[in-house]
A and B are shown apart, each in its own frame.
Chain A
Amino acid sequence: MTPNATGADAVIDAVTAVLLIVGALMSLGAAIGLLRFPDLMSRMHAATKPQVLGLFLVLAAMGLQMREWWVWPILAVAWIFQLLTVPVSAHMVGRAGYRTKHRHPELLSADELEAVVLRAAGERAAEKAQEADSAMPRNGNGGRNGRNAGADGGPSA
């Protein structure tokens, strides 16, 4: 920043200061969200703020201060790569969090993955039962008949 700036420099410095402070506040918001949100999914929501918008604001401030046109493409590359890579890690962390039961179902307003998971589990169970039946039918029937007989015989005895 230019010391004792006047005219256009002062305006650019003021805009830069606002951008930098708002960009830093994004990091603060993410930290507060990490500390206060109850589960992994909502913490992931808070964590994206400095990664995308905060980085954008800070990079824009940098571009304003440099006053050289060739800096802008480099800053754009940095931001675009951040936009490309952040969803990858968020996807992996979210998927791992869902699979390892790091979620509180009572806090979700919609769980669109649950139906898919239940259907896949049902299909897998049906497949397994079919395999077991075709592999050794006598044992399977015998076990089932025995259990039925026991259940029938229990109350009457």
Chain B
Amino acid sequence: MKDIVLIVTAVILSIAAAGAIYRIAVGPSLLDRVLASDVLLAILGAALAIDMAVNRHLNNLVLLVALTLIGFVGSVTVARFVADRRGQVNDS
């Protein structure tokens, strides 16, 4: 049971992370990349929580709470920078 759950979730999360990384690499605009990195952060949080749930430890709990607290700062910062370059339009 434990092994099955671990393997299934690991495969699913790996595919999801690969998709997010592909969007970061290709993503036509800066905002697409920021959004994909947000998704990658959510996938990382899910992986931490799954590890804690399956193996029954709480080592990552502080990291998870900190992640949910300050994870939004990066995308807000980048969004502020993007908002200032209004001259170059429509490269999406």
Contact residues of B: prevailing secondary structure: helix
Q: Are A58 and B46 in contact (CB under 8 A)?
A: yes
Instruction: Report B44 CB to chain A, min CB distance, Å.
Output: 10
- Over the window 50-81 of chain B, the binary record of Cβ atoms lying under 8 Å from chain A Cβ atoms (1 yes, 0 no) is 10111010100100110011111001100110
Instruction: Report B67 CB to chain A, min CB distance, Å.
Output: 8
Chain B interface bracket (under 10, 10 to 19, 20 to 34, 35 or more): 35 or more
Q: Are B19 and A24 in contact (CB under 8 A)?
A: no
Give residues 82-110 of A contacting B (CB, 8 Å): 82, 85-86, 88-89, 92-93, 95-97, 99-103
One of A14-22, A127-135, A143-151 contacting the partner: A14-22
Since A24-B12, A50-B46, A59-B49 are in contact, a sample of 10 more A-B pairs with Cβ atoms closer than 8 Å, ordered by chain A residue number, is A34-B32, A35-B23, A51-B42, A61-B50, A62-B52, A74-B61, A89-B72, A99-B83, A99-B86, A100-B89
Alpha-carbon distance A111/B2, docked complex (angstroms): 48
Chain B residues lying within 8 Å of A24, measured Cβ to Cβ, are: 8-9, 12-13, 16, 46, 50
Question: In the complex, how many residues of chain A place their beta carbon closer than 8 angstroms to a beta carbon of chain B?
Answer: 56
Q: Are B42 and A97 in contact (CB under 8 A)?
A: no
Alpha-carbon distance A39/B29, docked complex (angstroms): 10
Chain A residues lying within 8 Å of B58, measured Cβ to Cβ, are: 66, 71
CB nearest neighbor in B for A18: B5
- Over the window 1-29 of chain A, the binary record of Cβ atoms lying under 8 Å from chain B Cβ atoms (1 yes, 0 no) is 10101000000010011001101111110
Q: Are B86 and A100 in contact (CB under 8 A)?
A: yes
Q: Are B53 and A62 in contact (CB under 8 A)?
A: yes
Q: Are B68 and A79 in contact (CB under 8 A)?
A: yes
Chain B residues lying within 8 Å of A97, measured Cβ to Cβ, are: 31
- Over the window 1-38 of chain B, the binary record of Cβ atoms lying under 8 Å from chain A Cβ atoms (1 yes, 0 no) is 11011001100110111111011000001011011101
